[in-house]
Structure 1
């Protein structure tokens, strides 16, 4: 059954929760909550993905490293991921207990993948179409977006493993909305079996994204149903992990999909049997 990566952002301006876990104590509490709900990976970020206030590397370290250290001590069984594109931040995050680097900007800092390999931690290989971190796509075009995603992410994945990253923690991520429009996002879902067929574990970050909002005509706070539908579809095609805001609801969707497929058994069956 697919894993769930819970999003916990130590930022005051997150697009979805508007800074709900900006405070360190609230961030700790949220980490405890998502672990209790069943998340096996917690992804901790200190910089909003989109345009916004500038955050230098030192400030990013101050935001993420104390939280990683605390959660590593509280939940040693959980994979801790740091969402960063900076090698210097990754070094300190790994020292604090991170065992996965979520490089959402596809190797913008070329030293980041080397840091992951040198420390033998996992690495998320993203696809952004070459756009600069924290910028939005503008009139992007791909001859074949799925082929482009596969070519770039699998090349990164092989390099990560060659450098020392464990294969089971070397994910490829189509990276919806990053350097792509809504039509690209839908095509990636429609053809996600081609990405899964590469053999690399696939991570998808679909949660409340703009492509869901534009498809359904829904604002940020009204995209959960669309997210769950997309997640269920992708889970049925063999996606290995999902980066999400709503952990409990996502786990239910994944479990229900797996039960329909016969991959997992129902948890509590008495109706008509006793």
Structure 2
């Protein structure tokens, strides 16, 4: 299984790919404000590359619970320098742009990004799918209830896995009807986006079910609040737990793991790969 980007195909094997999170926002739940200055940004990109990141995800608008939206102009002001910084340090590492705005995606892709990571599943901006088609960009379709501002207001499901599966299947069908190549679609069940602790645990327990969608599977569990609530950990202390979940996700067939601490998850998935290949 592989997806095509303008630089080179991204192939998926036994070991999941590790996607480093690069938030250039002042208000993200984990590292908001840390990488808005050029020197800190460059240092963080170098750390991710040296730690073995396979992809880097750039976000200029926080999608934490109850976050306020930002303008297109402000989002572009944040993400374009970050993309330029990555490209100065590495010419070909795949970059995903984490946005729900079509014009932000278009300019980011033109500036050197490769993949659109849309937490709305192509629902918030009707032009997003056309940008993906015109620029031949793979798309990450994620499940989310409502919007970041209200997604955590009493989320209720009768069958959380089944309902997310139905949502993603509908989004895949809609996108392909618009002309997007199915082989360019990645799915993400959206841990933490309109889910309780119990919902997140159920999704993880049944992660293999999402493989039935026949698209690469991305899991974004890093430092999320359900870890803190289960273990009594502050945000900055959740990287070991994140790496342990990463190893579990690798065993369940995840193809991409989106994390803040690249080094720990790279170690976890390499150990999983070594054990899996042992005789």
TM-score normalised to the size of structure 2?
0.87
Q: CA shift at 1:33, angstroms?
A: 1.8
Q: CA shift at 1:141, angstroms?
A: 1.1
Match of 1:197, SS state, is helix
**Does the aligned pair in 2 maintain the 1:101–1:124 contact within 8 Å?**
yes
Q: CA shift at 1:35, angstroms?
A: 1.5
Cα RMSD of the aligned pairs, angstroms, is 2.0
Aligned equivalent of 2:8: none
Matches within 5 A, 1:38-77: 38-50=52-64, 51-52=66-67, 54-77=69-92
Higher relative contact order (CA 8 A, sep 6+): 2
Name the CA distance, whole Å, in 1 between partners of 2:48 and 2:183. Answer: 22
> Do structure 1's residue 33 and structure 2's residue 47 form an aligned pair?
yes
Count of residues paired in the alignment = 263
Aligned equivalent of 2:191: 176
Match of 2:213, SS state, is coil
Aligned equivalent of 1:268: none
**Does the aligned pair in 2 maintain the 1:108–1:132 contact within 8 Å?**
no
> Structure 1 residues 255, 158: CA separation in 2 closer, same or farther (over 3 Å shift)?
farther
Q: Describe the superposition over 1:182-208 as per-residue Cα deviations: whole angstroms up to 9, x where unpaired.
A: 111000000001112322100000000
Name the CA distance, whole Å, in 1 between partners of 2:269 and 2:153. Answer: 33
Q: CA shift at 1:135, angstroms?
A: 3.4
Match of 1:179, SS state, is coil
**Does the aligned pair in 2 maintain the 1:121–1:166 contact within 8 Å?**
no
Q: CA shift at 1:230, angstroms?
A: 1.5
> Structure 1 residues 72, 159: CA separation in 2 closer, same or farther (over 3 Å shift)?
farther
- Residue among 117, 129, 138 paired with 1:102: 117
Matches within 5 A, 1:1-274: 1-50=15-64, 51-52=66-67, 54-106=69-121, 107-129=123-145, 131-161=146-176, 163=178, 165=180, 167=182, 169-262=184-277
TM-score normalised to the size of structure 1?
0.89
Match of 1:248, SS state, is helix
**Does the aligned pair in 2 maintain the 1:105–1:133 contact within 8 Å?**
no
**Structure 2 gap segments, 5+ residues each:** 1-14
**Does the aligned pair in 2 maintain the 1:118–1:163 contact within 8 Å?**
no
Name the CA distance, whole Å, in 2 between partners of 1:110 and 1:197. Answer: 27
Q: CA shift at 1:157, angstroms?
A: 3.0
Q: CA shift at 1:36, angstroms?
A: 1.9
Name the CA distance, whole Å, in 2 between partners of 1:74 and 1:159. Answer: 37
> Structure 1 residues 162, 66: CA separation in 2 closer, same or farther (over 3 Å shift)?
farther
**Does the aligned pair in 2 maintain the 1:45–1:82 contact within 8 Å?**
yes
Q: CA shift at 1:110, angstroms?
A: 2.7
> Structure 1 residues 94, 174: CA separation in 2 closer, same or farther (over 3 Å shift)?
same
**Structure 1 gap segments, 5+ residues each:** 266-274
